[in-house]
Amino acid sequence: MGIPFLRVVPPPLPREPRATSDVPTLQAEDVTIEYRTPERVVRATDRVSFDVLEGDRFVLLGPSGCGKSTLLKAAAGFVTPRSGHIRLDGATVSEPGPDRIVVFQEFDQLPPWKTVKANVMFPLRASRLLSRRQAEERALHYLDKVGLADFADAYPHTLSGGMKQRVAIARALAMQPRVLLMDEPFAALDALTRRRMQEELLSLWEEFRFTLLFVTHSIEEALVVGNRILLLSPHPGRVRAELDAQAYGLHSLGSPEFQSTSQRIHRLLFDEPAASLAAA
């Protein structure tokens, strides 16, 4: 079964139409990122371009070492491109900010001396966005949304890995960022918990329609989570293709179409020379 690869595929939102705008929410334009070591210069990405539109679940997919996490860190403002630009609402990203919140895969991203509620409140108070009472109300609201209202006064060491990730997601959503950045957030979880977290993430997106930039090396997860997928070549990361994945999700797992698309993506990532991709 063939799959359409397009440069820009703005999918319609079922509930609310996307506001008309010529400016993507997040835009990468010819982004090249390099790291310097004592021995040499390592190029992580090479002239990568993509547009993340309002309400997208945009996935960066590729093998280890292709620069996908580096691109996410650049979008967060932690890494400066050697050349090219990353823009948020048309303005060049030059530093981290509360409009871009990152959820990492590590479970120790929660300060262990703070309760669950205090962990969610912390960035709200540190950024001086809300009063203490307002921050507490918002923290409890989002903890309820991720099913952890009963654990508000618990400490991180008492939680499972999946529960810690739900706290991290609640903390990120409580900031109401322009873009939620997730760097392989479920990679360290067991298979059953990972599937549950994917379900919960999609459920939260259905409710809040936040803009998501999601990094994974799992083809299946990319098709489940994303409505648009950017395929990156092995090191250094270059754009191979962009996939409209709107038709796929949890409902299509195991179907012949899902399996066929997974196999096709694998071939595009690993087997087919870059020169042949224009015909894909």
Does residue 19 sit within a domain?
no
Q: How far is CA 117 from CA 23, 109, 140, 155, 203, in A?
A: 36, 14, 7, 9, 22
pTM for this entry: 0.86
The predicted pLDDT at position 40 comes to 87
Q: How far is CA 256 from CA 2, 224, 259, 261, in A?
A: 12, 15, 5, 9
Contact by Cβ (8 Å): 222, 245: yes
Task: Specify whether 158 is located in the same domain as 54.
Answer: no
Domain end point (choices 138, 155, 176): 176
The predicted pLDDT at position 127 comes to 85
Task: Specify whether 33 is located in the same domain as 152.
Answer: no
What dihedral do alpha carbons 175, 176, 182, 186 form, nearest 10°?
A: 80
Domain end point (choices 176, 198, 222): 176
The pLDDT tens digits along the chain (280 residues) read: 444 444 333 333 333 434 435 579 999 999 999 988 888 888 999 999 999 999 999 999 998 889 999 999 999 999 999 999 999 999 999 999 999 999 987 767 889 999 999 999 999 988 887 899 999 999 999 999 999 999 999 999 999 988 999 999 999 999 999 999 999 999 888 999 899 999 999 999 999 999 999 999 999 999 999 999 999 998 888 999 999 999 998 888 889 999 999 999 998 888 755 434 443 4
- Please give the tally of structural domains in the chain: 2
The predicted pLDDT at position 181 comes to 97
Does residue 3 sit within a domain?
no
Any residues with CB less than 8 A from the CB of 13 and at least 6 apart, and which?
A: 55, 209
Q: Where are the alpha helices (DSSP H) in 115-182?
A: 116-126, 132-145, 161-174
Contact by Cβ (8 Å): 192, 113: no
Task: Specify whether 68 is located in the same domain as 185.
Answer: yes
The predicted pLDDT at position 2 comes to 45
Could you tell me the CATH number of the domain that includes residue 202?
3.40.50.300
Contact by Cβ (8 Å): 19, 4: no
Does residue 232 sit within a domain?
yes
Q: How far is CA 176 from CA 17, 47, 69, 159, 179, in A?
A: 20, 30, 22, 24, 8
Task: Specify whether 202 is located in the same domain as 240.
Answer: yes
Is residue 17 classed as helix, strand or coil in its secondary structure?
Answer: coil
Task: Specify whether 207 is located in the same domain as 235.
Answer: yes
How remote is the C-alpha of 268 from its chain's centroid?
21
The predicted pLDDT at position 269 comes to 86
Task: Specify whether 124 is located in the same domain as 59.
Answer: no
The predicted pLDDT at position 41 comes to 87
Q: Which of 4, 3, 5, 1 is nearest to 239 (CA)?
A: 5
Residue 118 sits in which domain range?
108-176
Task: Specify whether 42 is located in the same domain as 144.
Answer: no
The predicted pLDDT at position 20 comes to 39
Q: Which residues pair with 231 in a beta bridge?
A: 61, 241
Task: Specify whether 127 is located in the same domain as 186.
Answer: no
The predicted pLDDT at position 96 comes to 93
Q: Which of 161, 144, 247 is nearest to 196 (CA)?
A: 161
Is residue 21 classed as helix, strand or coil in its secondary structure?
Answer: coil
The predicted pLDDT at position 273 comes to 53
